[in-house]
Amino acid sequence: MSALVGGVEAGGTKFVCALGRDGEIVAETRIATTSPAETLAAALAFFKHQGSPAALGVASFGPIDLDERSPTHGFITTTPKPGWAHTDVAGPLRRALGVPVAFDTDVNAAALAEQRWGAARDAGSVVYVTVGTGIGGGAVVNGRPVHGLAHPEMGHARIPHDRAADPFAGACPHHGDCWEGLAAAPALAARWGVSPQSLPDDHPAWALEAHYLALGLANIILTLSPERLVLGGGVLARSGLLERVRIDVRGLIGDYVRSADIVPPALGNRSGVLGALALAADLAG
Amino acid sequence: MSALVGGVEAGGTKFVCALGRDGEIVAETRIATTSPAETLAAALAFFKHQGSPAALGVASFGPIDLDERSPTHGFITTTPKPGWAHTDVAGPLRRALGVPVAFDTDVNAAALAEQRWGAARDAGSVVYVTVGTGIGGGAVVNGRPVHGLAHPEMGHARIPHDRAADPFAGACPHHGDCWEGLAAAPALAARWGVSPQSLPDDHPAWALEAHYLALGLANIILTLSPERLVLGGGVLARSGLLERVRIDVRGLIGDYVRSADIVPPALGNRSGVLGALALAADLAG
């Protein structure tokens, strides 16, 4: 049996801490995200009470510093969340627990969890995209999450935007009508003036949403050629939307290259914390 | 000293065959690309004359089949090049030489060569983009070229296209105004009605070209977060274009994430055949 490892899904509203092995969680707690000091102390208390894990994985909201040569490796960097910009998350956990800590984005961790235990189990390369209050994307390529100078920020890619058909200027404070600015939940709410949940299934909002999601996903497929693309998040709960997106992606790519299967997540809202456990397991060996 | 390995850059107009080690070529020949049988026979004759290499790498034009579980692994697949669609390239070479054959796209191989011996030597993850008669992109992530269901086809991604400012419909036979359809050399020629070489440096064509290249590159950077992006090909020979592209990419990404350095290739037109040698060396161990 593999060693018991720890996982932290560090989110903007809650931290989920778990102890587990092989994709099974044996103990778990949820902590409201308040100040860094208070939140990290509560996470530490959980792991100390449970007995130290062999290793810890942290799947964090971002942007984060993943460069192991950087003095701020393991930090959350330029987040607008009050109190959390330039906060060391991995360091205090590593020092207090005395175990190795793996650190990655929540969406890279989710891609890893879906590949290991979820909807992408037989796929060699996986992209995970979530569409909710923002659009986030992570990927596993050649066996490991994709890192580089930083980490994927797929939600901020630019897609074609026909301003005659859709004069909405976009909701992203950084880039206006980037992918997230056109297609995340706040864009839907601002464009149509109502909560997305209240838009009926036959509202034209959903055809436009499928079109925008497909444009971004087709570009990702043409860039990474994943074997499986897992598409989740609150906006995708809309009945029929995933099938519309699949059809539009096929239309955009055509017969030129084979397109990845686009599937819903199998792990639901567990993918982040399970991904944190997967990161830890890889570190524990 | 490492073993002598063979490399084939399989291009649409010529095959470059080389024998070498550690990034040094000790023998080389160029073969015009005619029929598959004739071209592959000439390549084989070169390697048999030189003495069999320990392994062979093939860096091919595409699309190609890289799926090792596929019965057509090692084939060029749906190319429009007459006589070459659905042609087994790796198989005849492997059988005739009796050595292991590594097979990849020309641009993935070029990314590998630039990382090992060229402009991306200290970078952990690399993207290589070439802009000429088409736009092709390859990448090395987590130590190996990016494969998936197929391979990257970055040139066919969609970018914003303001038809009021640029009414040109795009030159891609598959997708119209995809990235390649807006920004490869044939698009420049068709949009302005003259050969791109004859457009003066201060022609508005170049500001538009920099803008389109930057849109595609910014999306790749946001998707893959490479440490280094190597940008080459005939169109980039235009004086000042690379610097304009750098400025526009910075403008598009803003301060949100760190953007990769965008650099010219160091290996010039040797990157394909050197990449083939790198693929072979990795196989020979």
Q: What confidence tens digit (pLDDT) does each residue in A211-250 have?
A: 999 999 999 999 999 999 999 999 999 999 999 999 999 9
How many interface pairs between A and B have CB atoms less than 8 angstroms apart?
146
CA distance A187 to chain B (A): 18
Residue among B146, B227, B253 minimizing CB distance to A141? B146
Query: Residue B44, class by beta-carbon neighbours within 10 Å (0-12 exposed, 13-18 middle, 19+ buried)?
Result: middle
Does pLDDT of B87 surpass 80?
A: yes
Contact B133, B184 (CB under 8 A): yes
Q: What is the pLDDT of residue B27?
A: 97
Span between the terminal Cα atoms of chain A, in Å: 12
Query: Between chains, do A146 and B142 touch, taking CB under 8 Å as contact?
Result: yes
Query: Between chains, do A158 and B218 touch, taking CB under 8 Å as contact?
Result: yes
Query: Between chains, do B146 and A78 touch, taking CB under 8 Å as contact?
Result: no
Q: Rounded CA gap, B228 and B129, in Å?
A: 11
Residue among B141, B254, B259 minimizing CB distance to A142? B141
Does pLDDT of B91 surpass 90?
A: yes
Residue among A152, A226, A227 minimizing CB distance to B222? A152
- Percent above pLDDT 90 for chain B: 89
CA distance B270 to chain A (A): 24
Q: What b/e sequence results for B130-169 when a residue is b if at least 16 CB atoms lie within 10 Å of its CB, and e otherwise?
A: bbeebbbbbbbbbeebbbbbbbbbbbbbbbbbeeeeeebe
Give the model confidence (pLDDT) of A88-101 as tens digits: 999 999 999 999 99
Task: Render A177-190 in DSSP notation, one character per residue.
Answer: SBHHHHHSHHHHHH
Residue among B152, B158, B226 minimizing CB distance to A225? B152
CA distances from A186 to A172, A191, A222 (A): 9, 8, 27
Q: Rounded CA gap, A108 and A146, in Å?
A: 7
Q: What is the pLDDT of residue A150?
A: 86
Does pLDDT of B281 surpass 90?
A: yes
CA distance B157 to chain A (A): 5
- Any residues with CB less than 8 A from the CB of A48 and at least 6 apart, and which? A96, A97
Q: Rounded CA gap, A5 and A20, in Å?
A: 6
Band of residue A80 on the pLDDT scale cut at 50, 70, 90: confident
Query: Between chains, do A225 and B153 touch, taking CB under 8 Å as contact?
Result: yes
Give the model confidence (pLDDT) of B222-269 as tens digits: 999 999 999 999 999 999 999 999 999 999 998 767 778 999 999 998
Query: Between chains, do B223 and A137 touch, taking CB under 8 Å as contact?
Result: yes
CA distance A198 to chain B (A): 30
Count of residues in chain B: 285
Q: Rounded CA gap, B113 and B132, in Å?
A: 19
Q: What is the pLDDT of residue B158?
A: 98
Q: What is the pLDDT of residue B285?
A: 77
CA distances from A205 to A182, A197, A237, B121 (A): 11, 11, 15, 47
Q: Could you count the other beta carbons within 10 Å of the beta carbon of residue B111?
A: 34
Joined tokens for residue A241: 């939307």
Find residue B144's DSSP bridge partners.
B141
